[in-house]
Structure 1
Amino acid sequence: MLQLAQTRELTVPRKAAADAVISRLAEVTGETTHVSVLSGATVYPLASCESYKHSTRVIIDVQTFPLHATASGICALAFGPKELLASASENMQAFTADTPTTIMALERAVQSARETGFGRSDRWYEDDVCSLSAPIFDQTGQFAGAVSVASVATRFTAELDRSIQWHLAEASREISRNWGGEIPETVNYLWDKSTQKQNIMEHSS
């Protein structure tokens, strides 16, 4: 497995192709950013960039991202293989008081991601962290991973939420291109719809 992963990284350097993008994403959002990859039924961290702006920031120090409790995991469930939902339902550990621990709650989170194009975690994995994720697609045309922004919950305002969504969509498009893929039109439509809605709200306020 390690040899195959090393060979893939030499031919399609996913980490190198993501590093510059998440560095810019951290700069424009002011928050910690990271990229994860799906392998089998597990979401693994690939690269991360801590916030340049805040001394109090999210640190990405995990071996895997739980499917049911993280924005990256919700992205995988929403846009990855259908059988992932069964895998997620087998272990729905409560990491915080807000972690989804029922199939109904998990399905609501997944459906929300399918309707907006973004996975979301609101204090589900850590008590003081809110995260948003956008799916990444590779040369196979399939879901390959997610790009995410993780913010300290007390800073996560509606304005920051809107800004992160816009920049996440751009980062996902760029990383997908770097990985030889492209964003499906259905997902692009969801992001464009969300951006237009935000513009209308800002002009009317």
Structure 2
Amino acid sequence: MNALNAGDFTLSDDPDALFDTWMAEASASEPRDPNAIQLATVDRDGRPDVRTVLLKGKDARGFTFYTNAESAKGEELKANMQAAFVLYWKSLNRQIRVRGAVEAVSDAESDSYFDSRHPRSRLGAIASQQSRPLDSRATLEDRVAALEEEYRGRPIPRPRYWHGFRVKPYQIEFWADRDNRLHDRIVFRREGAEGAWTKQRLYP
């Protein structure tokens, strides 16, 4: 959406449909990882943390990503099942911010996505003790090589600690660049993850 028609999106009353439209347009224009989100959590002491992960699913229930649940982000989510994330597409000068409660996805969903990954990515998920100290790159590569031999010709099982999380949104904000920093912003809010959305325009 360019500066001339950036305001059109503010007429939408459906954040789900608007998200899908923007994601489709980003997928056509963004050169790499249009589904990259900056995911924010807090630790047990209330200190914020943020990192980039890939958004792997979106439906009426929420937004899904997958990770090692024993990683820093996984431990932080266990302590506080709330999260926020942002998508920013430089090619379109657009941004979406999401806040919501978090839940673990089902084992069946995690199995299905894990089985869809490249075999070396599956082996990497088993080999990596994510967020914990690593003495050298060679240690990790040797572990992956050993797992390749172990599972040669055999199914690669999903580790019990690797699964998906779903952000169930209660706030979604859409931002689009406009000239002279007079950007367009609209925010949708609801009570919990099942309520009706309300919409409000915000100052840029």
TM-score where L is the length of structure 2? 0.26
Structure with the greater alpha carbon radius of gyration: 2
Return the structure number with greater helix share.
1
Higher relative contact order (CA 8 A, sep 6+): 2
